[in-house]
Structure 1
């Protein structure tokens, strides 16, 4: 909980100027695009964490 709340505070302090997360949202169209970090996370889940040992 401590680590999560610490990182969450960094996100709030950046306001809307800094983009966080694994999906990019185009505010004009509300279209969503998976970022490279999202594809990496998907691979971690798909391989049950095996990719972390590489």
Structure 2
């Protein structure tokens, strides 16, 4: 399987009339061959996180 230029953004509500865009994945490409596995690790360094 081959994926090219994958982008995924989410709109997150941050108040009554405000939204912010979260860029989860931005323009990545990859190829998986038979028997391979893809793992995705999320690291959050927001306020209050180490």
TM-score normalised to structure 1 length? 0.27
Q: Per residue, is there more strand in 1 or in 2?
A: 2
TM-score normalised to structure 2 length? 0.29
The higher-RCO structure (CA 8 Å, 6+ apart) is 2
Q: Return the index of the structure with the highest Cα Rg.
A: 2
